[in-house]
Amino acid sequence: SETSIKHILTRHEQGAAHAADGYARATGKVGVCMATSGPGATNLITGLANAHLDSIPLVAFTGQVPTGLIGTDAFQEVDISGITLPITKNSYIARDVKDLARIVKEAFYIARTGRPGPVLIDFPKDIQLARTEFKYPKKVYLNGYKPTFSGNVKQIKAAVQEIKNAKKPIIYAGGGIISSNAFPELKDFVLKTNIPITTTLMGLGCFPETHPLSLGMLGMHGTAYANYAVSAADLIIGLGVRFDDRITGKLDEFALKAKIIHIDIDPAEVGKNISVDIPIVGDIKNILKKLNEYVHKKKEQNG
């Protein structure tokens, strides 16, 4: 209902996008922002790009000129759908008021499932003023969009075997743990295996920093001992991470002694930046639950 939606007016549209991003990070729910057409819509871009790169679920509504004027360079007309295509999971232009309920349902579903991210709905003025019977779909039907939630069982068992064989393994955890709300599963995995853990900037907070097995953050701005541990490791277990340049530095010098297990919800990220020995695509929470069924506590590592 109208009374259940709290509207917060920001001074600038960029602030609205960042506020929606912050809301999503703090609550785990989809953040929502809106802006007028033209410059209002383009002012959202930095916030949308930030949400896209950090995998934050967000839905943005933008105003647009009437459908009959699209393509005529009308007042404050801009192709915001085209502009934001590289920095959103999907962009919609609502051309028929009868499609609006379905579009909104799909947008929120896409934003929060799989690898989370922003979705944009461009809303022409004549569609805003049109009337229709409201029928909110119970289910979403999207051909070609079927995120993988359960990892391949053979790959999971292969990962378990590598964990058992490793002498100096290390866990490298990222924002995927937070997005998946996999805190208890991660803690259980760390305590069961007795494997030290390091995190990315996006993964800070996913495991207690004061725990003896925590090495803090990895990479350019991380702790020296976390970086030394990765250099000496014979197995890296990447959980919801990207192996980006701030972590790896020179790729041909990164963790030369280690085999790599990479687990991520997004198949495009697995093996993108660095060669992976055991790729596993799926939801981190589900996969950690399965790993925890098989793994056993390792002896304390020395050196």
Q: In sequence order, which residues have a C-beta less than 8 Å from that of residue 118 and are 6 or more positions away? A: 48, 51, 52, 56, 57, 58, 59, 60, 84, 87, 88, 89, 111
Q: Which pLDDT value is given to residue 91?
A: 96
**Residue ranges, the chain, pLDDT below 70:** 1-3, 297-303
Which residue's structure tokens are 């280690």?
258
| Pair 56, 24: CB distance under 8 Å | yes
Whether residues 284 and 195 share a domain: the answer is yes
Is 300 part of any domain?
A: no
Full-model pTM: 0.88
Total count of domains within the chain = 2
Which CATH number fits the domain that encloses residue 258?
A: 3.40.50.1220
Whether residues 46 and 113 share a domain: the answer is yes
Q: Which pLDDT value is given to residue 157?
A: 94
User: Which residue range is the domain that position 284 belongs to?
Assistant: 153-294
Whether residues 211 and 243 share a domain: the answer is yes
Whether residues 112 and 173 share a domain: the answer is no
Q: Which pLDDT value is given to residue 255?
A: 86
Whether residues 118 and 168 share a domain: the answer is no
Spatial separation of the C-alpha atoms in residues 4 and 7, rounded to whole Å: 10
Q: Which pLDDT value is given to residue 153?
A: 93
Whether residues 172 and 269 share a domain: the answer is yes
Full DSSP string of 225-283: HHHHHHHH-SEEEEES----HHHHSSGGGSSTT-EEEEEES-TTTTTSSS--SEEEES-
| Pair 120, 84: CB distance under 8 Å | yes
Whether residues 89 and 215 share a domain: the answer is no
CB neighbours of residue 92 within 10 Å:
22
Nearest CA to 117 among 48, 62, 177, 218? Answer: 48
Is 144 part of any domain?
A: no
Is 3 part of any domain?
A: no
DSSP annotation of 130 reads -
Helices (H), 133-218: 153-165, 175-179, 183-193
Is 143 part of any domain?
A: no
- Tens digits of residue pLDDT in 172-229: 999 999 999 999 999 999 999 999 999 999 999 999 999 999 999 999 999 999 999 9
Q: What is the average pLDDT score of the chain?
A: 93
Longest distance between any two alpha carbons in the chain, whole Å: 71
Give the end of a domain, one of 69, 94, 129: 129
Is 303 part of any domain?
A: no
What's the burial of 192, exposed, middle or buried (CB within 10 Å: 0-12/13-18/19+)? middle
- The continuous run of DSSP H or E covering 32 comes out as strand 31-35
Is 114 part of any domain?
A: yes
Q: Which pLDDT value is given to residue 298?
A: 60
Which CATH number fits the domain that encloses residue 87?
A: 3.40.50.970
Whether residues 43 and 168 share a domain: the answer is no
- The continuous run of DSSP H or E covering 51 comes out as helix 45-54
Whether residues 118 and 188 share a domain: the answer is no
Whether residues 234 and 106 share a domain: the answer is no
Give the end of a domain, one of 97, 129, 161: 129
